[in-house]
Amino acid sequence: MAIVLIRQDGKTASWKNALKAKAPGVPIYNYQEDHPREQVTMAIVWKHPQGTLKAYPNLQCIASFGAGVDFIFEDPGLPGNLPITRVVDPVLASDMSEFVIAQVFSYLKHLKQYALDQEERIWRPKAYRRIADEVVGIMGMGALGTVLARDLTQLGFQVRGWATSKKTGLATPCYSGQEALGEFLTPVTILVCLLPLTEQTRGILNKPLFSQLPKGAFIINVARGGHLVDADLLEMLKTGQLSGAALDVFHDEPLPKDHPFWDLPEVHLTPHIASVSDQDSVVPQLLENYRRLQKGQALLNVVSRDKGY
Ligand code: OXD
């Protein structure tokens, strides 16, 4: 039994070292080195080149290095019926919450605008906005969304959630399904997308949805670029239906140099860094699943192939 690591972002060596440090006896390979493919039972992947998984005849599990698994389901060469696992990690959730809260405050307190004004030596106070007046709507009330909802509520924001399917036992009011989307959106001044990317949610951040928000609402997308219809956002910013957006994820990453988002002061761009898997926290759960696989035990954090997350 062995593990192969498949990612193309130059971080394989540090992940391999971190895994090896905790499990010195486990054979762990970078997919680009010479290795006995028939020994590999677990592939840990992040945006792997499509088709690479087919080279492992004895694979028993595919694990994502992160919370998202959309790129795994997009691989036409995905071997059928193997369990797919994702990372569910309190550090990933609290990092995400911190990042979104930073964007919320930056928007509310006009910090980007003041930074731009400073460059031009312009003294231009803007209308003050208070936490208590803001309704934050969180689309996606899973492991990340529920932590964000809790933290924003503690800060005094009015918070509501929306999920594609019914959720029970949440501390935050949560709307579910297409039929409740309008009611959910009506008072939302700041909309955060934390949904998994599936066929159901692709392109969900579109003109019909934006039109149901109050005029001047702000969008934060920290989920996937595929949720957003870029042209619709551009149009809604132009008409003033939306006052701005904080975008951490894009259809193509890095965002192409000629994309119109780069030139808009009301768009706050970050390079997919909202929350990044922390090795200290994630390595133990990846190895725990490898051990479970060896013992034939049920794996942790298995995703549903039907739902796509
Ligand atoms: C993830 C991500 O899915 O970083 O973990 O986007």
Rounded CA gap, 27 and 5, in Å? 11
Q: Which CATH superfamily is domain 2-89+277-295 in?
A: NAD(P)-binding Rossmann-like Domain (3.40.50.720)
Strand locations in the chain, DSSP E? 2-7, 28-30, 40-46, 61-64, 84-85, 135-139, 158-163, 174-176, 190-193, 217-221, 242-247, 267-269
Q: Out of 224, 227, 268, 292, which one is annotated catalytic?
A: 224
Q: Out of 272, 291, 292, 305, which one is annotated catalytic?
A: 272
Paired tokens of 269: 């761009």
Do 2-89+277-295 and 90-269 share a fold? yes
The pLDDT of residue 122 is 98
Q: 102: part of which helix (H) or strand (E)? A: helix 90-108
Distance 296 CA to ligand 1 centre (A): 28
- Residue 68 Cα: closest atom of ligand 1: 3
Distance 68 CA to ligand 1 centre (A): 5
Whole-angstrom distance between the N-terminal and C-terminal Cα of the chain? 27
Q: Which CATH superfamily is domain 90-269 in?
A: NAD(P)-binding Rossmann-like Domain (3.40.50.720)
- Residue 277 Cα: closest atom of ligand 1: 5
Rg, the chain, Cα only:
21
Paired tokens of 30: 């970078």
**Beta carbon of 140 within 6 Å of any ligand 1 atom:** no
Helix (H, G, I), strand (E, B) or coil at 37: helix
**Structural contact between residues 207 and 157, judged by C-beta atoms closer than 8 angstroms:** no
Q: How many CB atoms lie within 10 A of CB 255?
A: 17
| pLDDT tens across the length of the chain (309 residues) | 999 999 999 899 999 999 999 999 999 999 999 999 999 999 999 999 999 999 999 999 999 999 999 999 999 999 998 999 999 999 999 999 999 999 999 999 999 999 999 999 999 999 999 999 999 999 999 999 999 999 999 999 999 999 999 999 999 999 999 999 999 999 999 999 999 999 999 999 999 999 999 999 999 999 999 999 999 999 999 999 999 999 999 999 999 999 999 999 999 999 999 999 999 999 999 999 999 999 999 999 999 999 999
**Beta carbon of 68 within 6 Å of any ligand 1 atom:** yes
**Structural contact between residues 165 and 139, judged by C-beta atoms closer than 8 angstroms:** no
| pLDDT tens track for 135-177 | 999 999 999 999 999 999 999 999 999 999 999 999 999 999 9
**Structural contact between residues 242 and 210, judged by C-beta atoms closer than 8 angstroms:** yes
Tell me which residue of 140, 182, 137 sits closest to 157, measured CA to CA. Answer: 137
Tell me which residue of 162, 175, 174 sits closest to 205, measured CA to CA. Answer: 162
Domain ranges of the chain: 2-89+277-295, 90-269
Active-site residue flag, 37:
no
Which residue do the tokens 């959630």 mark? 161
**Structural contact between residues 145 and 194, judged by C-beta atoms closer than 8 angstroms:** yes
Rounded CA gap, 274 and 280, in Å? 18
Tell me which residue of 60, 57, 20 sits closest to 43, measured CA to CA. Answer: 60
Active-site residue flag, 224:
yes
Helix (H, G, I), strand (E, B) or coil at 7: strand
Helix (H, G, I), strand (E, B) or coil at 20: helix
What pTM was computed for the model? 0.94
**Structural contact between residues 15 and 65, judged by C-beta atoms closer than 8 angstroms:** yes
The values of phi and psi at residue 30, to 5°, are -80, 135
**Structural contact between residues 225 and 193, judged by C-beta atoms closer than 8 angstroms:** no
Distance 61 CA to ligand 1 centre (A): 19
- Residue 65 Cα: closest atom of ligand 1: 5
